[in-house]
Amino acid sequence: MLLKQDINQVTAFAPATSANLGVGFDIMGLALDAVGDKVTLTKRTDGQIVIEKINSITGLPLEANKNTASYAVTKMCEDLNIQCGFSMQIDKGIAMGSGMGGSAASAVAAVVALNGFLSTPVSKEKLVEYALYGEEIASGGKHADNVAPCIFGGITLIRSTNPMEVINLPYPELYCVIVHPHLQVETKSARGILSPSVEMKQFVHQSAELAATICALYTKDIELLRRSMQDLIIEPQRAKLVTGYYDVKSAALDAGAITATLSGSGPSILAFATNKKQANIVRDAMMKAFAEHNVESDTWISPINPNGAYII
């Protein structure tokens, strides 16, 4: 693969994301327009992938085969026969274990930055495939529900990962309320507690809710979205990982949220509102509910980011 000869350094930004959206475990997600990660790649001449600096409030591995960003770049270089090597700086804007796609964002920013060096850039679908190598070492599986919206923007549905097929779904104007309690839930642990089997009755009911949610997004039917975006399978298993989860969810719904659910594997909680004023009311109610359980929290109010990751 030929590299642009006049470029020595590229920085890319990748936004935070919210995966699953309740009904779409491992297949749906959205990009947020609030915080994100940056990765800067600089060409080397020795063929090595080296992390030179990580700006993060939490410790992250510097070894190239253990960090999501460097591992994704390594796999992309191997596949495309890029041999020069790169130095890397990672600037973390997303707290690890927050349920906001922190591991995915680092991997995505890294492969998007590398794509900026290529004379013929690869497709977004290929970028998802490369970033998934990084996501795999972080979470134990190649689930694209964070990576895909991070790259494509908007709300995405992953129909298939082999071959990769990502569908951008339409959506009404929505404001996302993200409340991140000062708790930490590791994705690997949160996946480890899930039952490997689902009752047929639950499967049928959840399939109906997923189908209705997609219909609601296409028709921009807020009331149908309110009725259908219900997680009947994953949420009951993971709620215990987040102190006060059901109280916070109830507070959001009582304050007028369209829906409220775990953001990814948590502990962050995602709620939807139809306007910014309502979003502020929902946020305050959720923070108050967490505070009643002696849990501090950070919050963001964000429209859905239609663009995804980009080169700075």
Stated as kind and residue range, the H or E segment containing 59 is none
- State the catalytic residue, choosing from 161, 187, 259, 261: 187
**Which residue is it, tokens 């549905």?**
157
Cβ-Cβ contacts under 8 Å for 123 (sequence gap 6 or more): none
187 is an active site residue: yes
40 is an active site residue: no
- State the catalytic residue, choosing from 68, 74, 135, 259: 135
Between CA 15 and CA 81 the distance in angstroms is 28
What are the tokens at 93?
A: 């804007």
Rg of the chain over CA atoms, in angstroms?
Answer: 19
What's the per-residue H, E or C state across 143-196?
CCCCHHHHHHCCEEEEEEECCEEEEEECCCCCEEEEEEECCCCCHHHHHHCCCC
List active site positions. Answer: 135, 187
